[in-house]
Amino acid sequence: MKLLGLIVLILSASALGHVPLKTFERVDHFAFGSCNRHYNKQKLWGEILSTKPQLWIWGGDNVYPPNSATPYALREAYAYQSRHPGYRELVKHIPMMGTWDDHDYGINDGDASYKFKRESQDNLLTFLGVSENDPRRLREGVYHSEILGPKDQQVKFIMLDNRYHRRHGNMLGEEQWRWLDDELAFSDAKVHFIVSGIAVLAPRIYFSEEWRDDMVSYNRLIEILKKHQDKGIVLLSGDKHFAHFFERDGFIEFMSSGLTHTVRVPLRPIVRQYYKNPFIGLHWGEIHLYWNEKPMRLKMSLRAQNGRIPQVRHYHLLNGRWGLVDQFNEGIRPMQMLPRTPAISPVEEIEEVEYERENFDPTI
């Protein structure tokens, strides 16, 4: 009986029927999130589905197998997640894409030396419903892009892989660096969302990872982004178990991290020391694009339990660059001249949820 249950677990990840990506004409509304302990209680899937996003994006740490996981353990974690009732409903109705970070890569703070990285890639692609003949099955690394929407309202989603080729001083590997530059240089999309498993613009903090731990790679990335800064670039990220908006080096970033758990209580004073207005609580990120407004507006909302929206940012697109909409007079100022703006709502704290366990039967 145990063997039968295990077989069901392993097969279930590939048994879900994923909705094809290109089933809508224009990208107006999508959701994203990261840091999902598959064995914790998962309270948000029903609320996410109720907001009717057109697309769900996994931002990394999509499951949490044991550290230095074998391919078998990682498959088991994905299969467990795929059997969750709330998540199954989401998959039935909403197309998805995504990337990974270290936990779903298979090893904490993992890099190019991880011996099971090829197997980890296959497991992630199967979890995301990627077909066996997709080019990503042959590529080394899970980086990829998707273009959605009509010609004059195109959105390009660029998923980075900051694990497979990672070495100090070279986060992405030479092939992926060239690929990223080309994806921006030869794109006619009006808006580009770049998804990274770890935060790009975040300050360094000793108990977590961010791009700025490796300033050679960070500077190289910013150099590429500045070459194409009139492309409507928005950075999305996760990893840290709290949420934050960043405005730095002329770019904006929405970090959403905490689908099932939050930063531990002893570390919260350190978070507040380095981050202004972090949100610590279960949440996901929500994006709205208002194409018909002149200038076009981007709304980024931090969504929490029970319909709460603790923080929101509005930006207008002018000449391909995002400017923060002033909360009082709707004026637009260049982003590099903006002071660090307060959140619309105050910081919110919740009880620690590190050890809440799910109680559904994953073999059903």
Domains in the chain: how many in total?
Answer: 1
Does any domain span residue 359?
A: no
Q: Tell me the per-residue pLDDT of 307-330, one tens digit each, with 9 for 90 and over.
A: 999 999 999 999 999 998 865 334
Q: Please tell me whether residue 78 adopts helix, strand or coil conformation.
A: helix
Does any domain span residue 353?
A: no
Does any domain span residue 364?
A: no
Q: Tell me the per-residue pLDDT of 57-111, one tens digit each, with 9 for 90 and over.
A: 999 999 999 998 899 999 999 999 999 999 999 999 999 999 999 999 999 999 9
Q: pLDDT at position 12, please?
A: 52
Does any domain span residue 242?
A: yes
Cβ-contact 225, 232 below 8 angstroms: no
pLDDT band at 23 (very low <50, low <70, confident <90, very high): low
Give the span between the Cα atoms of 182 and 185, in whole angstroms: 5
At residue 344, does pLDDT exceed 50?
no
On the question of a cis peptide bond just before residue 135, with omega within 30 degrees of 0, the verdict is: no
**Which residues have C-beta within 8 Å of that of residue 306, sequence separation ≥ 6?**
47
Q: pLDDT at position 125, please?
A: 98
Tell me the pTM.
Answer: 0.90
Q: pLDDT at position 356, please?
A: 59
Q: Tell me the per-residue pLDDT of 90-100, one tens digit each, with 9 for 90 and over.
A: 999 999 999 99
Average pLDDT of the segment spanning 23-32: 89
**Which residues have C-beta within 8 Å of that of residue 58, sequence separation ≥ 6?**
32, 33, 34, 96, 97, 98, 99, 100, 128
Does any domain span residue 315?
A: yes
Does any domain span residue 345?
A: no
Q: Phi and psi at residue 118, in whole multiples of 5°?
A: -65, -45
Q: pLDDT at position 32, please?
A: 98
At residue 338, does pLDDT exceed 50?
no
Q: What is the radius of gyration, based on Cα positions, of the chain?
A: 19
- Strands (DSSP E) contained in 240-328 are 244-248, 251-255, 283-290, 297-304, 311-318, 321-324
Instruction: Give, in order, the Cα–Cα distances in Å from 11 to each of 61, 78, 125, 126.
Output: 21, 10, 14, 10
135: how many CB neighbours lie within 10 A of its CB?
8
| More confident of the two residues 317 and 340 | 317
Q: pLDDT at position 206, please?
A: 78
Give the span between the Cα atoms of 28 and 204, in whole angstroms: 33
Give the span between the Cα atoms of 349 and 271, in whole angstroms: 13
320: left (phi over 0), alpha (psi -120 to 50) or beta: left
Cβ-contact 127, 65 below 8 angstroms: no
The mean pLDDT of the chain is: 88
Q: pLDDT at position 201, please?
A: 97
Q: pLDDT at position 364, please?
A: 40
Q: Phi and psi at residue 333, in whole multiples of 5°?
A: -125, 150
Provide the H-helix boundaries in 52-110.
71-82, 85-93, 102-105
Does any domain span residue 354?
A: no
Q: pLDDT at position 325, please?
A: 87
Token pair 């609320």 in the structure block, residue: 47
Average pLDDT of the segment spanning 179-202: 98
CB hemisphere CA count around 79 (13 angstroms)? 20
Q: pLDDT at position 348, please?
A: 45
Token pair 């077909």 in the structure block, residue: 131
Q: Phi and psi at residue 323, in whole multiples of 5°?
A: -120, 135
In DSSP notation, 29-69 reads: EEEEE----TTB---SHHHHHHT--S-EEE-S--S-PPTT-
Average pLDDT of the segment spanning 229-234: 97
CATH number at residue 139: 3.60.21.70
Q: pLDDT at position 205, please?
A: 84
Does any domain span residue 172?
A: yes
Question: Domain residues for 245?
Answer: 2-337
